[in-house]
């Protein structure tokens, strides 16, 4: 089964389950207020982190360096903001994990390590020399 299709099916099921379980423990009104509170705090913090990332990206450009980490951070912050807007506790948790810089750096470092390992394995080159030889038959008048 495709992993995207599985995620589309499982995420709402898990969110509904968590909303019911948490709502039965703390009450429906408290659950709704908690969902709105996490969304508002998350969006505010996403805006704050987004501006910090933008500032860091411009600092990298001023140093004539590519702002690779900052671009990935910006995309992660945008994804986190979307996850925080979606009502639910699991998406809020994932959104908050993506927003905080230490956890985001930890995630990116692990992803970069996997790609660097794969890249080093595939760099097999054969070095050689060649000489271009012209024949009289190659010339056409």
Out of 4-8, 73-77, 135-139, give the one with best mean pLDDT: 73-77
Q: How confident is the model at residue 126, as a pLDDT?
A: 72
DSSP 2-14: -HHHHHHHHHHHH
Comparing 124 with 91, the larger pLDDT belongs to: 91
Q: How far apart, in Å, are the Cα atoms of 37 and each of 42, 84, 96, 114, 124?
A: 8, 10, 13, 36, 53
Place of tokens 């898990």: 14
Instruction: List the structure tokens of 29.
Output: 């009104």
Instruction: List the structure tokens of 125.
Output: 């080159």
**Average confidence (pLDDT) over 100-128:** 77
Question: What is residue 66's three-state secondary structure?
Answer: coil
In percent, the amount of the chain with pLDDT more than 90 equals 50
Instruction: Tell whether the model's pLDDT for residue 17 goes beyond 90.
Output: yes
Place of tokens 């995207």: 4
Grade residue 130 by pLDDT with cuts at 50, 70 and 90: confident
**Average confidence (pLDDT) over 99-110:** 90
CA–CA dist 74, 78 (Å, integer): 6
Range in 14-18, 58-62, 75-79, 113-117 with the lowest mean pLDDT: 113-117
CA–CA dist 94, 27 (Å, integer): 23
pLDDT in tens, 18-73: 999 999 999 989 999 999 999 899 889 989 999 999 999 999 999 998 888 899 99
Comparing 119 with 114, the larger pLDDT belongs to: 114
């Amino acid at each position: 089964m495709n992993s995207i299709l599985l995620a589309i099916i499982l995420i709402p099921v898990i969110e509904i389950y968590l909303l019911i379980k948490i709502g039965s423990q703390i009450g429906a009104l408290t659950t709704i207020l908690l969902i709105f509170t996490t969304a508002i705090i998350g969006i505010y913090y996403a805006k704050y982190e987004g501006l910090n990332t933008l500032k860091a990206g411009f600092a990298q450009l001023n140093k004539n360096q590519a702002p690779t980490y900052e671009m990935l951070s910006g995309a992660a912050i945008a994804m986190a903001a979307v996850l925080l807007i979606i009502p639910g506790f699991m998406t809020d948790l994932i959104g908050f994990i993506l927003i905080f810089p230490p956890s985001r750096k930890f995630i990116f470092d692990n992803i970069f390590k996997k790609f660097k390992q794969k890249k080093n394995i595939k760099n097999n080159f054969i070095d050689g020399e060649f000489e271009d030889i012209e024949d009289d038959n190659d010339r056409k008048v």
